[in-house]
Structures are given as structure tokens and as C-alpha cells.
Homo-oligomer: A and B are copies of this chain.
């Protein structure tokens, strides 16, 4: 059985405001925990269903955690219903320290900027795609869904451990700063721009994607250097934002 304090802590991390305060988050599943232990992230604690501790995959992961000096604790059936996020909880989770960046510790190179994306699956898919194509820096507006939301974490398929995230309280000001002080260009993806196939891959560019329902806000449209569009020819009204971002990132790489 879990210690009361651990159980309380894990329950706390289900809420975004607590994750923000504790600067921690949770990943579930063998693959997720394994990815975390393999990455540069600081893993604070691994929690395993006590019944599974002798199974091969779990033995391997326990060894891996111990080699990295990560604490491993075991839980009982009655704990699981309290701590799990998915119906299909596979018997393992890890608590991980968030690694939040600022502009100053972004890697060199382009920035993917997301304004008010509110679907965790979309955000997770964008992070996964960015990782696939080698983009390192993700800039998020304050109203974008939490990167460390369990659904987002899950849909990144491990890529949440590889990229730099900076959630700004004021996206407009941050973009102005990136433009002036860091000499980046701002390119927006919207419905009235030039064909995206004209974009040339450059290092110092912020690619901005707007929310699922409202697109990029008018204030930000005013300061962008250029707008691009993915031209359609069928009857659909729009593309999913994770799909649009993927098409742009694939074009650029």
C-alpha cells in the first residue's frame, strides 16, 4: 500500500493548478516511464502495482530506475483506482519534474508557437510531430491547454521529454520581444495567406498556429511578418490544427 503522503501527492497532481505549483507531472504506462527514465528529465518517483513487481518488463524498469537513483514504491489494488488516470492503467506511473524553459534557454532554431490550443490530444500530437521533424522549441500562450495534462502527455508518446516548452503569460509581448531582441520573423498559418509551399526553411522564424475555433487573434495577426495558408480543394471548411502544423513542419524539413 502507498504511504498516505504519496497518495495525497499523486492525487494532487491530477489538477493543473497543483502541477503548476509543484512543478511536477505524472506519466503512466511502461513505455512512458521507460521513455522518461531514458530521457534527460528528472524522474522523482516510480510507482508500481505490487502484484507486477516480478514480471520481466517491470523487473527491467525497476533496475533501470535504481541505476539512476530513482525511488521506486509499490501500490495495492485499492490505491490504483485513486491514482490512475486511464481506465486501462497498466500498473506503472512515474512522477517527473517539469522542465519549463524561457526564451533564453530555448535551443537555436525555429520556434513552434501555439495560441490557445485547447484540445490536449491536438497539443500532444503537435509535440510528437515537432519531435519527429527535429523542432526543439514550443512557445505556448497562457490559454493553451497544459502540456503536463495526462492526456497531452499520453498523446506525445514520449516526446514531451525531448522538447523545450515556454508558456508565456503574454504571448503578444513575447512575440514582440522575439522579433526585436532575438531578430526572429513571425509567420502565421491562417486562411488568407500565401501558399505554404513558398515558405523557405529558415532558422530564425516563429511559426504561429491559432486555436481550433478562432484561429490566430487579431492582435497577433497585426505583428506577423507573413501569413501562409494550406490551400484546399474539397468541401471541408478547415483542417485540424495538429494536421496543419504537421503539414508545415514536414514541408520545412
Contact = CB atoms under 8 A, between A and B. Distances in A.
A236 B158 contact: yes
A117 to B, nearest CB: 15
Given A121-B121, A132-B239, A239-B128, A233 B247 contact: no
A234 to B, nearest CB: 4
Contacts of A236: 128-129, 131-132, 157-159, 162
A133 interface: yes
Number of copies: 2
B235 A129 contact: no
Contacts of A234: 130-135, 159, 162
Interface in A220-245: 230, 232-240, 242-243
A30 to B, nearest CB: 14
Interface range, A side: 20 to 34
Which of A130, A158, A242, A247 has the largest number of chain B CB atoms within 10 A?
A: A247
Interface in A121-139: 121, 125, 128-135
A61 to B, nearest CB: 17
Contacts of A159: 234-236
Contacts of A134: 232-234
Contacts of A246: 239, 243, 246-247
A250 interface: yes
Nearest to A155: B240
A232 B230 CA distance: 21
A235 B162 contact: yes
A253 interface: yes
A125 B158 contact: no
A131 B239 CA distance: 9
Contacts of A239: 128-129, 132, 246
Given A155-B240, A157-B237, A240-B242, 18 more contacts: A128-B236, A128-B240, A130-B234, A131-B234, A131-B236, A132-B233, A132-B234, A132-B238, A132-B239, A133-B232, A134-B232, A135-B234, A157-B238, A162-B235, A162-B236, A233-B253, A246-B246, A247-B247
The 8 closest A-B pairs by CB, nearest first: A131-B236, A134-B233, A132-B236, A132-B232, A243-B246, A134-B234, A131-B234, A247-B250
6 contacts: A121-B121, A125-B242, A129-B240, A134-B233, A157-B238, A250-B251
